[in-house]
């Protein structure tokens, strides 16, 4: 079966094509600047040179058409003979609310439930819906599956997901912690079980750290998430590229008054101008911030210090929530490639049985699954593969439908 995985943003569509027999990636790509001047289509067929085009792309429907066009054009290194080869389409959907604890074959009812979650993810669910609608129009009859960022975290107990606000707000407006990056946390947890040979036995305690431009931590026991750092929105938790993470809620009201900010401006401040970028004044990219810190930039060094301290504090807190620690996983661009961040995050956690091996940590290649500890707690670098999770779930849900 050929599965096309789509990740639709407000002005982008990322895509990846899988041959599920052998789980081979046939091609990857990105349509960028949808609805703007100078839209671009980047395309990388497996084993052949990547290339870039500049088509006119006014909306997500045209973006999907451009993707299908290049995938089936042998003169442009297309990997498919015809669009009829596509057996299913998997969509990343950011927010499934409390309606979805796992991926779902898209039906009218599922679409309605995704729309009900728009107010919980107003920047993400609408473009996800546009991608689904566009595919239904361009590829009628091809099954589609929604894979939710929030689903893996729906095992959290009430004590983890409720905020200490009047309970009626939860009942009226679904105010609670949902968590995100669920497909990534799920993937690296399953890979941890595989590479360590660990059984998902009663009591197995693992903390997974997804560290990229967006960052989150999950505490997993017996294969179920018991807590996660992101909340009702992806703003809560760790310091991130441009997001502030945890802060005193009264602080932002104070800043709004002092700076005369509107709610929209305050939201932009916390989401787009804070985090590593806001602290360092240099960049939201950890690579650039680390380089500046090495060059003696005090604010860059301080930004790294705050980032690593917050991460270490969450790992320790989640070890306490789990009653101990058996495994720690780093993934994402920072998690896989920043040995300095991993080392700083593990400092002082030897009392948990976590002993980072300096040599293994420094030599970890980033693109391979690598153990970086020597103590009883197994610490691993495991590259994530969210697209493969989406493709697998899509194939699993569609095959019975096709057979029927």
pLDDT tens-digit map of 99-129? 999 999 999 999 999 999 999 888 889 999 9
Give CA–CA dist 354/361, Å, rounded. Answer: 13
Of 87, 115, 148, the position where a domain reaches its end is 148
pLDDT per position as a tens digit, 239-249: 999 999 999 99
| Residues 249 and 348 placed together within one structural domain of the fold | yes
Total structural domains within the chain: 2
Average pLDDT over residues 313-322: 98
Pairing of strands 378-381, 327-331: parallel
Task: Give 375's pLDDT tier (boundaries 50, 70, 90).
Answer: confident
pLDDT tens column, 60-84 = 999 999 999 999 999 999 999 999 9
* Same domain as 362, residue 232: yes
140 and 255 part of one domain: no
Domain with 209 in it: 199-386
For residue 52, what are the β-bridge partners?
Answer: 42
Evaluate whether residue 305 is within a structural domain. Answer: yes
| C-alpha to C-alpha distance for 33 and 12, rounded to whole angstroms | 6
88 φ/ψ angles, rounded to the nearest 5 degrees = -165, 160
Instruction: Please say if the pLDDT value at position 404 is more than 60.
Output: no
Look at residue 219 and tell me whether its pLDDT is greater than 50. Answer: yes
User: In this predicted structure, what is the pLDDT of residue 172?
Assistant: 95
Residue 393 covered by a domain: no
Q: Is 404 within a domain?
A: no
- The model's confidence at residue 298, banded by pLDDT at 50, 70 and 90, is very high
Residue 186 within a domain: no
**Which residues does the annotation mark as catalytic?**
149
Residue 369 pLDDT exceeds 50: yes
Pair (134, 27) in one structural domain: yes
Q: Across residues 213-231, what is the average pLDDT? A: 97
Sheet strands side by side (includes 51-53): 51-53, 40-45, 24-32, 13-19, 2-8, 86-93, 144-148, 104-105
Q: What is the mean pLDDT of the chain?
A: 95
Give a yes or no: residue 154 inside a domain: no
Work out the pLDDT band at 199, boundaries 50, 70, 90: confident
User: In the predicted model, is pLDDT for residue 46 greater than 60?
Assistant: yes
Rounded Cα distance, 329 and 336, in Å: 10
Q: Is 239 among the domain residues? A: yes
Q: What is the pTM of this model?
A: 0.94
Asked if residue 402 has pLDDT above 90, the reply is no
Angle value at C-alpha 123, between 122 and 128, nearest 5 degrees: 95
Instruction: Judge whether 74 lies within some domain.
Output: yes
Q: Is residue 72 one of the residues assigned to a domain?
A: yes
Statement: residue 276 has pLDDT above 80: yes
| 81 plus 143 within the same structural domain | yes
Query: CATH number, domain at 363?
Result: 3.30.420.40
Residue 200 confidence (pLDDT):
67
Q: Please indicate, yes or no, whether residues 279 and 140 belong to a single structural domain of this protein.
A: no
Based on DSSP, count helices (H) and strands (E) in the chain, helices before strands. 15, 14
Q: Name the token pair of 31.
A: 């349509």
Considering the domain architecture, whether residues 211 and 131 belong to the same structural domain is answered as no
C-alpha torsion angle, residues 193, 194, 196, 199 (rounded to 10): 50
């Amino acid at each position: 079966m050929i599965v096309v995985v789509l990740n639709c943003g407000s002005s982008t569509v990322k895509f990846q094509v899988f041959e599920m027999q052998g789980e081979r990636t046939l091609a990857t790509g990105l349509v960028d600047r949808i609805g703007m001047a100078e839209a671009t289509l980047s395309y990388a067929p497996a084993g052949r040179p990547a290339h870039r085009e500049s088509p006119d792309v006014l909306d997500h429907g045209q973006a999907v058409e451009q993707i299908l066009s290049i995938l089936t054009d042998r003169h442009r290194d297309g990997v498919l003979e015809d669009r009829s080869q596509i057996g299913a389409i998997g969509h990343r959907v950011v927010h499934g609310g409390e309606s979805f604890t796992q991926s779902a074959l898209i039906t009218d009812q599922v679409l309605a439930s995704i729309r009900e979650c728009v107010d919980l993810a107003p920047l993400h669910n609408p473009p996800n819906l546009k991608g689904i609608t566009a595919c239904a129009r361009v590829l009628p009859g091809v099954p589609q599956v929604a894979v939710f960022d929030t689903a893996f975290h729906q095992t959290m107990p009430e004590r983890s997901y409720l905020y200490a606000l009047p309970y009626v707000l939860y009942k009226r407006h679904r105010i609670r912690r949902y968590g995100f990056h669920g497909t990534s946390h799920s993937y690296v947890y399953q890979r941890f079980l595989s590479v360590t040979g660990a059984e998902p036995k009663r009591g197995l305690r693992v903390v997974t750290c997804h560290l990229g431009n967006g960052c989150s931590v999950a505490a997993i026991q017996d294969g179920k998430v018991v807590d996660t750092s992101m909340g009702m929105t992806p703003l809560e938790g760790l310091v991130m590229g441009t997001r502030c993470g945890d802060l005193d809620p009264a602080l932002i009201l104070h800043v709004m008054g002092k700076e005369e900010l509107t709610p929209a401006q305050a939201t932009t401040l916390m989401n787009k101008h804070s985090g590593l970028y806001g602290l360092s004044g240099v960049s939201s990219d950890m690579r650039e911030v680390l380089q500046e810190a090495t060059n003696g930039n005090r604010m860059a060094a301080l930004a790294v210090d705050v980032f690593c301290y917050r991460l270490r504090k969450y790992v320790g807190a989640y070890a306490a929530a789990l009653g101990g620690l058996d495994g720690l996983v780093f993934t994402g661009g920072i998690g896989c490639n920043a040995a300095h961040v991993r080392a700083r995050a593990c400092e002082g956690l030897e009392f948990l049985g976590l002993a980072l091996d300096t040599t293994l940590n420094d030599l970890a290649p980033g693109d391979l699954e690598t153990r970086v500890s020597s103590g009883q707690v197994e610490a691993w670098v495991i590259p994530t593969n969210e697209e493969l999770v989406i493709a697998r779930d899509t194939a699993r849900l569609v095959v019975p439908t096709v057979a029927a």
